[in-house]
Amino acid sequence: MAVPEPERELERLRTRAKTGLAPVTVITGASAFFRGEAVEIALGAVPQGRDVRVIDGGTETDGRELQDLRGAGLFGGGTWLVVRRGEQWLADRAEDLPGVLEGIGRGCGLIVEATKFDKRTRVGKTLAAQDVYEFRDLYDSPYDRTRSPLEAELIKWVANRSRALGVRMSLEAAYVAVMILGKDPAALLGELRRLAAQPDLAALAKSRVLTPDDLRGRLSVSFASTPFELAEALLDHDRARCLRSIDAMFARGVTKGRDGTVDRGGVFPFTVSMLFQSVAKAHRGRMLFDRGTPANALPAKVGVYKFTDRFVRQVTGNPVPRLRRALLLLRDAQRRLRATGEDPRRLLEQMVARYFGGGT
């Protein structure tokens, strides 16, 4: 049975919480972020007047916490035991827990959170028969790869959360945020909250949906990058890393050996020059490879003496048409900068978009 979309599972838990939690609530799945949100919802639904004991399942206990589930708490209202990161705790209490849950005391309850549990074991079968909520990661691309990337669950989730926080984003803006910030929901939500705290942006979002241009220069970049990292991302065919690298270089500049830092005005020519050299070497290597040169001989033939394994991987992983297109797009970006004076960062971003939109 397919695991439901995480927000739907959270909504199912909220609905149950309104009418009262079951005596045993099991929160599981691969997504630590959504498991954490689910625990907060469940904790908020514990009846008033109950004692709540929260333990870390990774910390060894003497097992006495199970006795809390058998009867009244300190003030006679029952005890709710909450076990976070409970994989090891379930293994340690596997022998005793099934019997305790069969006789759980009135007014008592258990909320256990764990990445997974073995449903073939006795304790696993007992837990599987309880109120279980499973949270997977959001899909960052559509199941049908022919569809627009804007239809991915993660993109829609960012757009929906931005709306709830008062900084309504278009799907295109949400896509840019994911490409720059990554796929971690916690980091994305933190950034949305930071954006919502900017009065001018929040005011703009009241009048219309935010676009990618509205986010330009506003998204946090907590790392530096170099043209060599951009070249590696391009040759590894990783669009997200390309966009993060471009964003970092224009936000923080580029370190150029012992000569210091290239300021933002020099990022474009330095980056395009280094990028062109890297792709040109890969192109030459691929031409030799297609003519029969052994892969392990390619670095020496092309004059690459460092990171040779990476070079061979990039050569064998990129067909000649793809590499040729990258070179042509770099030349076109240089020409457009001289002819039109367009924003250098936008030119690099457009080059990446055209490159990844071209197939092979």
CATH number at residue 174: 1.10.8
Report the C-alpha gap between 311 and 134 in whole angstroms: 42
Q: Give domain status of residue 140, yes or no.
A: no
Residue 261: pLDDT over 90:
no
Residue bearing the bigger pLDDT, 264 or 22: 22
CATH number at residue 116: 3.40.50.300
Q: Are residues 310 and 207 in the same domain?
A: no
SS3 102: helix
- The per-residue pLDDT for 224 is 67
pLDDT in tens, 146-204: 888 899 999 999 999 999 999 999 999 999 898 888 888 988 998 999 999 999 999 99
Q: Are residues 339 and 254 in the same domain?
A: yes
Q: Are residues 28 and 106 in the same domain?
A: yes
Residue bearing the bigger pLDDT, 75 or 336: 336
Residue 262: pLDDT over 80:
no
The domain in which residue 346 lies consists of 227-352
Interstrand relation of 79-84 and 109-114 (parallel, antiparallel or unpaired): parallel
Q: Give domain status of residue 358, yes or no.
A: no
- The per-residue pLDDT for 132 is 96
| 69 touches 81 (CB < 8 A) | yes
Q: Are residues 276 and 316 in the same domain?
A: yes
Q: Are residues 128 and 155 in the same domain?
A: no
| 75 touches 101 (CB < 8 A) | no
CATH number at residue 323: 1.20.272.10
How many domains, the chain? 3
The domain boundary, picked from 188, 215, 242, lies at 215
Strand pairing partners for 80? 52, 109
The domain boundary, picked from 103, 134, 165, lies at 134
Residue 297: pLDDT over 90:
yes
Q: Are residues 245 and 178 in the same domain?
A: no
Q: Are residues 201 and 279 in the same domain?
A: no
Q: Are residues 245 and 340 in the same domain?
A: yes
Q: Where are the alpha helices (DSSP H) in the chain?
A: 6-19, 32-44, 87-92, 97-102, 122-128, 153-164, 171-181, 185-196, 199-207, 212-215, 227-235, 239-252, 264-290, 298-302, 308-316, 320-340, 344-356
Q: Are residues 254 and 312 in the same domain?
A: yes
| Across 4-33, average pLDDT | 95
pLDDT above 70: percentage of residues in the chain? 92
Q: Give domain status of residue 13, yes or no.
A: yes
| Across 289-315, average pLDDT | 91
Q: Give domain status of residue 24, yes or no.
A: yes
Q: Are residues 93 and 175 in the same domain?
A: no
pLDDT in tens, 320-336: 999 999 999 999 999 98
Residue 73: pLDDT over 80:
no
Q: Are residues 158 and 181 in the same domain?
A: yes
Residue bearing the bigger pLDDT, 8 or 145: 8
Residue 317: pLDDT over 60:
yes
The domain boundary, picked from 215, 237, 263, lies at 215
Q: Give domain status of residue 139, yes or no.
A: no
Nearest to 17 by CA among 50, 49, 44, 52: 44
The DSSP 8-state label assigned to residue 259 in this structure reads G
Residue 223: pLDDT over 90:
no
Q: Give domain status of residue 141, yes or no.
A: no
Q: Give domain status of residue 241, yes or no.
A: yes
Q: Are residues 13 and 116 in the same domain?
A: yes
Report the C-alpha gap between 304 and 40 in whole angstroms: 53
pLDDT grade for 58, boundaries at 50, 70 and 90? confident
Nearest to 94 by CA among 135, 63, 68: 63
The contacts of residue 181 (CB under 8 Å, 6+ apart) are 187, 188, 191, 219, 220, 244
Q: Give domain status of residue 154, yes or no.
A: yes
| pTM for the predicted model, two decimal places | 0.65
